[in-house]
Amino acid sequence: MTLNWKKFEFIDLFAGIGGIRIPFDELGGDCVLSSEWDKDCQDMYEANFSHRPVGDITQINPLEIPNHDLLCGGFPCQSFSIIGKGNGFQDTRGTLFFNIAQILEVKKPKAFLLENVKQLKSHDKGNTYLTIEKTLKNLGYNVHTKILNALDFGLPQKRERTIIVGFLDNVDFEFPKPNAKRADLKDFLDKKNDKDPTLQASDYIIKRRLERLKEDSKNDPFYPSMWHENKSGNISVLPYSVALRAGASHNYLLVNGTRRLSSRELLRFQGFSESYKLAVKSSAIRKQAGNSVPVPLIRAVAQQMIKALRAQDQG
């Protein structure tokens, strides 16, 4: 049966808190299965989408997964057990990508969107990505890959992600072009949080960062700004955030060099709407925001995918 892609069914794997799901819901998609093993993420997902994701995808038989038109997944990057041996699926066994490949083989959705860290393409000297690409092509998919930056899609966060899109048919797909205008940091910050004692860095941290900043005369402070301390102890003062990180130190990023981001601000930096419900404690949200996808970036890719699929079916 030919779809017009006004309505379609999709699955949301490694779902996190639903950042990939949101744009496909907006485009008329019906999510027939979501999978996420982390309990806090399950709680957040359930609060916002009214159903709880099933658990570990490795424990689900692909034959038992509902039929779907599109597969989505932000899978973790892992070393592959065998690289460069030309063994197809054997090259990906022991990795979570293998579970995606199994589902694609069994269910043959018309399209997929996969998301990963920027370093995926260079991981293991490029062998990891080449194995992934070869596996997807051997399954019959036309594969398109590009590194996109959240800064180019309306967010004040430099977050570069590898996006892999695939189609069973040879559709005319192009990745979205960057926005002409960058986001303004002040639009994402709540000034009331400047006085929230639970968000304030210690006097010692604030003083130490100011002192280090003075040592670098090329890096004068301005406001509003995000202050980032790297592993070498160098301080950067930027009109946007560097990438949020799940496992970063508590003071990894400071607004104006004095305070941490609130839970709502963290989610704004990933493009979640004001109506998105905060259903878990702030420490869990901090981790979730660090692991999440930038929603507007995914939205731009999803729109291009559905546009291409609709054009293909109408043609």
Burial of residue 299 (CB within 10 Å: 0-12, 13-18, 19+) is buried
Whole-angstrom distance, CA of residue 73 vs CA of residue 97: 9
Q: What tens digit of pLDDT does each residue of 105-152 get? A: 999 999 999 999 898 888 878 888 998 999 999 999 999 999 999 999
Q: What is the pLDDT of residue 8?
A: 97
In sequence order, the 6+-apart residues with CB closer than 8 A to the CB of 150 are 157, 158, 159, 160, 161, 270, 271, 294, 296, 297
Name which of 82-91, 151-160, 170-179, 276-285 the model is least confident about.
Answer: 82-91
Catalytic residue among 31, 41, 72, 77: 77
Q: What tens digit of pLDDT does each residue of 250-288 get? A: 889 999 999 999 999 999 999 999 999 999 999 999 999
Mean pLDDT of 73-84: 66
Q: What is the pLDDT of residue 313?
A: 78
Our CA dihedral for 23, 24, 25, 27, rounded to 10 degrees, sits at 90
Q: What is the pLDDT of residue 82?
A: 47
Find the angle CA(76)-CA(15)-CA(181) to the nearest 5 degrees: 85
- Long-range Cβ contacts of 275-280 (<8 Å, 24+ apart): 276/48, 277/44, 277/47, 277/48, 278/44, 279/43, 279/44, 279/46, 279/47, 279/48, 280/40, 280/43, 280/44
pTM (global) more than 0.85: yes
Does the pLDDT of residue 92 top 60, yes or no?
no
Q: Taking all residues of the chain, what is their mean pLDDT, rounded to a whole number?
A: 91
Burial of residue 288 (CB within 10 Å: 0-12, 13-18, 19+) is buried
Whole-angstrom distance, CA of residue 164 vs CA of residue 250: 32
- Homologous superfamily in CATH for domain 8-178+291-314: Vaccinia Virus protein VP39 (3.40.50.150)
Active site residue 31: no
List the strands of the sheet with 160-167, edge to edge: 29-34, 8-13, 70-73, 111-117, 160-167, 142-149
Mean pLDDT of 25-40: 97
Domain ranges within the chain, ordered by starting residue: 8-178+291-314, 185-280
Q: What is the pLDDT of residue 260?
A: 97
The tokens describing 160, both together, are 């570069």
Q: What is the pLDDT of residue 219?
A: 67
Give the model's confidence band at 83: pLDDT under 50 very low, under 70 low, under 90 confident, else very high: very low
Contact 74, 16 (CB under 8 A): yes
Name which of 47-56, 124-133, 217-226 the model is least confident about.
Answer: 217-226
Between residues 143 and 236, the one the model is more confident about: 143
Q: What is the pLDDT of residue 125?
A: 83
Name which of 115-119, 159-163, 178-182 the model is least confident about.
Answer: 115-119
Nearest to 204 by CA among 170, 251, 238, 249: 251
Whole-angstrom distance, CA of residue 35 vs CA of residue 204: 43
Kindly list the distances between the CA atom of residue 82 and the CA atoms of 8, 86, 88, 128, in Å, as whole numbers in the listed order.
36, 9, 10, 10
Name which of 1-15, 18-32, 69-83, 139-153 the model is least confident about.
Answer: 69-83
